[in-house]
């Protein structure tokens, strides 16, 4: 494929979006879950600590922590739901970003990504600065932030899990998993890094 000044090989999985599914958050979430499962099942990785929607927890997962997602804004920030809603987003791989965009489409809200940041600290600073609304885990909410109720669809709960390669019999993976569970148990809940 040639793109202006560069020629490179690409795999195009959705050149025609006839069904409107290439941006569907549910499909993207399922693809990420499948990719994680593929990497684990194929033995490319032995263990993964990941955040997923609680509804995607598998019976073999070890749940470290569960949390709620909330729509958040600063107390000072006012927005008009009849206009595009400025959305402060984690990066494009964030599974709940895709959920928020899909939610906006289904509720006829126009969600406009105005900031993309991969760090929780960056998103939290943008919220407190009044740059827009975001989705944030309950454990990251500070007193300077306001939970938005009764405007948007309530987001699904999330879980932090350890998912292991079922074929792996590695003692190191077993010890690592036990140590992670022990450490999380010692602090009572995961903390912001």
The token duo for 9 is 């090989």
User: 10-residue block means of pLDDT along the chain (193 residues)?
Assistant: 46 46 55 62 76 89 90 93 90 84 74 89 93 92 93 90 78 84 72 39
How many whole angstroms separate alpha carbon 132 and alpha carbon 85? 7
How many whole angstroms separate alpha carbon 23 and alpha carbon 60? 30
- Whether CATH 3.40.190.290 fits 21-186: yes
Angle at 137 between CA 135 and CA 141, to 5 degrees: 95
Contacts of 143 (CB under 8 A, 6+ apart): none
Give pTM, 2 decimals: 0.71
The domains of the chain are located at: 21-186
How many whole angstroms separate alpha carbon 162 and alpha carbon 102? 27
pLDDT digits 0-9 by tens, 178-192: 888 888 877 665 543
Residues in the chain: 193
């Amino acid at each position: 494929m040639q793109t202006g000044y560069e020629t490179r090989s690409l795999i195009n999985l959705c050149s025609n979006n006839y069904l409107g599914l290439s941006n569907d958050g549910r499909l993207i979430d399922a693809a990420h879950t499948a990719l994680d499962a593929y990497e684990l099942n194929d033995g490319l990785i032995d263990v993964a600590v990941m955040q997923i929607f609680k509804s995607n927890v598998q019976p073999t997962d070890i749940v470290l922590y569960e949390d709620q997602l909330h729509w958040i804004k600063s107390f000072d920030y006012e927005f008009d739901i009849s206009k595009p809603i400025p959305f402060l987003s984690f990066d494009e791989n964030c599974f709940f970003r895709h959920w928020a965009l899909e939610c906006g489409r289904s509720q006829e809200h126009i969600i406009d990504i105005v900031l993309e940041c991969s760090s929780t600290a960056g998103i939290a600073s943008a919220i407190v600065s009044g740059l827009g609304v975001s989705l944030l885990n309950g454990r990251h909410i500070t007193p300077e932030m306001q939970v938005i109720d009764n405007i948007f669809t309530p987001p699904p709960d999330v879980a932090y899990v350890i998912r292991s390669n079922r074929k792996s019999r590695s003692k190191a993976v077993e010890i690592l998993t036990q140590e992670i569970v022990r450490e999380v148990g010692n602090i009572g809940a995961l903390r912001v890094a």
